[in-house]
Copies of this chain bind each other. A is one copy, B any other.
Amino acid sequence: MSNHSINVARLLGRLSELGAIGRDADGRLVRLAASDADREGRDRFVSWIEAAGLEVAVDRIGNIFGIWAPADVTDVQPLMLGSHIDTVIDAGIYDGCYGVLSGLEVIETLKESGFVPTRPIVVAAFTNEEGVRYAPDMMGSLVYAGGLDADAALATIGTDGSKLGDELRRIGYAGDRVPGFLKPHAYIELHIEQGPVLEREGVPLGAVGNLQGISWQRVTIEGDANHAGTTPISMRRDAGHAAARVVIFLRERAKAANTPTVATVGCMEFEPNAINVIPSRATFTVDLRDPDEERLNQEEAALARFLETLSDEEDVTITVERLARFQPVKFDERIVAAIEAAAEARTLPCRRVTSGAGHDAQMIARIAPTAMIFVPSMGGISHNPKESTADDDLIAGANVLLDVVRKMTEEE
């Protein structure tokens, strides 16, 4: 049948074309939310929505929707597909964009084939998923799901001092639709894995059954700056040494637990950061993730207990600031099973996986049955120009999405 597969040249061509937009002087891909580069990417995406004959809608937080609502079904809740097209600094071309462009591709393929869906199908590009310029990340989908007030989000001040609302107006994407105006019947997000599991296991597809909970904290340890040569070890209040003990604690605990818990210290700063001065202050971040909420709580509590002991043992002052906390998400079993069935029908190996990263899907899951499809990331690399997925895998993922969407919108 004519709608059996997506248009490979069109999807891959658009991925390249969108990936060429927002290159800086060094050739790095930088399309931060609500920037000029983001405007250019959005304009291109909107031109493709319009060329496909879909209705364009933009809500107050700048989320863009391409809506295919055949005449008979305009009152039915839509099936929503989507992801984001903003990027980190020095990004790859697949993160987010692959899901958005595949969603559009699936709608165009179905539309061109003469297929008539039983409900509208919508492709969404959510604002500021990356959170690089404005915090928090996944902001557009969070607002859409009602988890953050639109006015509060629009008042967010960015790392460059700009206000998100002003910037959205400036680039022409402060829409008039109320976030949440389309309540999805279901939401499906196709995304690169951004991790090494699928590639390592040689499986081209992941049916994402759940998403890890995320806990972000910033820890500040304060000791005493003293001369490195003249202060006996026993008299030191060394904030850097205390910080190193936290790094070791987290690793040892994660290694010993034999659970999927991951703990990362990604940022670390010493003060005064001088070769011959004992660090008076160490500031670092702790990223804890676990698919099980109870276990994530336990990990947070264990860290808190360790910091208390450490404070006594090292005679340092420790303060902890919570930066973000998202509960684990369990995706909709029926959609996950439909993804597995679609993969099997195409004789594509598929594995049930957990998402380690945060995605817009975790926000939309608050208001609709949701699931995700993953394709492999070579070397597990993402947020990096070396981000890469084989064309065959990109095509396989979009085709499985196509099949699932058709299945969920065809006459019973």
Tell me the bound Cα distance from A238 to B270 in angstroms.
18
Copies of the protein in its oligomer = 2
Q: Enumerate chain B residues within 8 angstroms of A356, measured Cβ to Cβ.
A: 227, 229-231
A15 within 8 A of B: no
A389 within 8 A of B: no
Tell me the bound Cα distance from A255 to B313 in angstroms.
14
A171 within 8 A of B: no
Q: What 0/1 pattern do residues 193 to 221 of A give for CB contact below 8 A with B?
A: 11111001000000000001010100000
A273 within 8 A of B: yes
Chain A interface category by residue count:
35 or more
Q: Is the CB of A276 within 8 A of B248?
A: no
Q: Enumerate chain B residues within 8 angstroms of A267, measured Cβ to Cβ.
A: 270, 273-275
Nearest CB to that of A233 among chain B residues? B254
Given known A-B contacts A275-B267, A356-B230, A384 and B194 have beta carbons under 8 A apart: no
Distance in Å: Cβ of A168 to nearest Cβ of chain B: 25
Distance in Å: Cβ of A288 to nearest Cβ of chain B: 9
Q: What 0/1 pattern do residues 358 to 383 of A give for CB contact below 8 A with B?
A: 10000000000000000000001111
Complex interface residues of chain A between 56 and 89 (CB less than 8 A to chain B): none
Distance in Å: Cβ of A268 to nearest Cβ of chain B: 5
Complex interface residues of chain A between 138 and 167 (CB less than 8 A to chain B): none
Distance in Å: Cβ of A109 to nearest Cβ of chain B: 30
- Please name 29 pairs of A and B residues whose Cβ atoms are closer than 8 Å in the assembled complex, sorted by A: A195-B229, A195-B230, A196-B230, A196-B231, A197-B232, A227-B382, A229-B287, A229-B356, A229-B358, A230-B355, A230-B356, A231-B380, A233-B254, A233-B255, A238-B264, A240-B247, A240-B265, A241-B247, A248-B248, A265-B279, A266-B270, A266-B273, A266-B274, A266-B277, A266-B278, A267-B273, A268-B282, A269-B273, A275-B323
Task: Identify the A interface with B (CB < 8 A).
Answer: 193-197, 200, 212, 214, 216, 225-233, 235, 238, 240-241, 243-245, 247-248, 251, 254-255, 260, 262-270, 273-279, 282, 285, 287, 289, 323, 355-358, 380-384
